[in-house]
Chain A
Amino acid sequence: GNSVTQMEGPVTLSEEAFLTINCTYTATGYPSLFWYVQYPGEGLQLLLKATKADDKGSNKGFEATYRKETTSFHLEKGSVQVSDSAVYFCALSLSGGSYIPTFGRGTSLIVHP
């Protein structure tokens, strides 16, 4: 079946630190990959996506590269801010699965001033 595995949190960083949140997946077929962000008390917002191998998604200083050979889609940011504190969800979707996303468990990021 399809699944997404994320590193467990919380990830606690100081402002301006480098961020990596690991995400690996298993899928039957060729999925599209996503990172969503959920701020406290809110719904999910799409942060970035990549639809094929070697694509790099980027938004708001965050980046993730679709690595087919390692089945990974790690999220990175060079310099985090306090406002980046949120829960980050990695997800995949397949056309054969009617594009319904399969989510990872989420990784909480806490950034201290």
Chain B
Amino acid sequence: GAVVSQHPSRVICKSGTSVKIECRSLDFQATTMFWYRQFPKQSLMLMATSNEGSKATYEQGVEKDKFLINHASLTLSTLTVTSAHPEDSSFYICSARVAGGPYPYNEQFFGPGTRLTVL
């Protein structure tokens, strides 16, 4: 099946620092990627939709300046958590929607997630 990678898989940082998480579609093109946040034992909360070559669309209640999203190419989106605080600690998952390649158009594939811990 399609592969979506996330890097890093796990990161620990100090409060006040910024952390960048990468999401890559390895064998297909994705004009749209999604960033989710998952709290322990809860469902995924959609944070934002990342569009290649344009600004991201944020869900209500998600701070744009806090969670910077860049979708610079058809295979890469990045999420930067700026000035991280302990309450930002969470599991962040991206997904990529097929826009080209060997998989059905519009099908979504999920990355393995990134565990962020802010001390």
A residues contacting B by CB (< 8 A) are 36, 41-46, 89, 98-101, 103-106, 108
In the complex, A108 Cα to B111 Cα: how many Å? 20
8 A Cβ contacts from B93-117 to A = 93, 95, 97, 106, 108-113, 115
Q: Which B-chain residue is minimally distant from A45 (CB atoms)? A: B110
B29 in contact (CB, < 8 A): no
The answer for the CA separation of A41 and B112 in the assembled complex, in Å, is 8
* Cβ-neighbour of A106 out of B42, B46, B49 (below 8 A): B42
Report yes or no: B44 in contact with A103, Cβ–Cβ below 8 A: yes
In the bound complex, residues from chain A placing their C-beta under 8 Å from that of B113 are 41-43
Q: A41-B115, A43-B110, A43-B111 in contact; A104/B43 too (CB < 8 A)?
A: yes
What residues on B are CB-neighbors of A41 within 8 Å? 113, 115
Interface size grouping (class) on chain B:
20 to 34
A99 B6 Cβ-Cβ under 8 A: no
Among the listed B1, B43, B93, which residue makes an inter-chain contact with A43, where contact means beta carbons less than 8 Å apart? B93
Interface residues of B, dominant DSSP: strand
Residues of chain B at the chain A interface (Cβ within 8 Å): 1, 4, 6, 32, 34, 41-44, 46, 49, 93, 95, 97, 106, 108-113, 115
Min CB distance B33 to A, Å, is 11
A100 to B32, CA, bound (A): 10
Give the docked Cα–Cα distance between A105 and B46 (Å).
13
Minimum distance in angstroms from B25 CB to a CB of chain A? 13
- B43-A106 in contact (CB<8A): yes
Smallest CB separation, A39 vs chain B (Å): 10
- Give the distance in Å from the alpha carbon of A103 to the alpha carbon of B36 in the complex: 11
Instruction: Tell me whether A105 and B93 are in contact (CB under 8 A).
Output: no
List 17 contacting pairs A-B, 8 Å CB cutoff, sorted by A: A36-B110, A41-B113, A42-B113, A43-B6, A43-B93, A43-B111, A44-B44, A44-B110, A45-B110, A46-B1, A89-B44, A99-B97, A99-B106, A100-B49, A104-B43, A106-B43, A108-B41
Known: A44-B93, A99-B106, A100-B49. A89 touches B43 (CB 8 A): yes
